[in-house]
Amino acid sequence: MPGNDKVYESMNPLEINEYDELSTREPLQLRPIIQCLMQEEPTPELAKIQAHPHSVFGLYLIACAFHSVLFGIHLSCGFMGIPGSYTALERALDRWKVMWDALQTRRDTQKMAQTGFMLNALEIWWLAKSLIRNPPVMPTVGDISLDSMQNFHAMLEKLKDLEPI
């Protein structure tokens, strides 16, 4: 996982050499992060992940990974209405939001503009939370889903009109 926005944002290659903390920090991997965030009980690993100075890019990757988990749950048990099937994912999303908010308090807003589309990580989080509360129902013809962009945009419009998260 990337862990230093200063290196990502640096416009001068010589600035990168100033950030030697990268070589001393143990890298984090995506799968263990997701698993740890989903665990019911807080663990020392969770504390380590939450204390890690995450980057915008790293948190964006985590938010996107939640969607992979979400769609897996939708396919395996979400449509059957199994109670509690989203509990661990919702817990992970809540923990992610705390890390995102902490990052925002440490970031320079002018530098944030340089991170580009990754700033939309909060919208990725919102979409996951909304899809948990209101599982999508795409129109189908027989067994074939009509998952066109038009239907996807219509689903997003419905989600926007629902109760705020």
Task: Answer whether residue 123 shows pLDDT above 70.
Answer: yes
Give me the percent of the chain exceeding a pLDDT of 70: 64
Task: Answer whether residue 154 shows pLDDT above 90.
Answer: no
pLDDT for residue 34: 92
- The partner residues of 144 in beta bridges, in order of sequence, read 141
pLDDT for residue 66: 94
Nearest residue to 37 via CA among 111, 101, 91: 91
Q: Report the C-alpha gap between 159 and 155 in whole angstroms.
A: 6
Task: Answer whether residue 122 shows pLDDT above 70.
Answer: yes
Nearest residue to 110 via CA among 4, 7, 9: 9
Q: SS3 for 84?
A: coil
- Per the confidence metrics, is the pTM higher than 0.85? no
Tokens of 85: 């099937």
Q: Report the C-alpha gap between 8 and 70 in whole angstroms.
A: 29
pLDDT for residue 109: 62
Tell me the domain boundaries of the chain: 5-133, 135-165
Task: Answer whether residue 92 shows pLDDT above 80.
Answer: yes
Summarize pLDDT for 110-119 with one digit per residue, the tens: 666 666 777 7
Summarize pLDDT for 17-71 with one digit per residue, the tens: 555 555 455 667 889 999 999 999 988 888 888 887 678 888 999 999 999 998 8
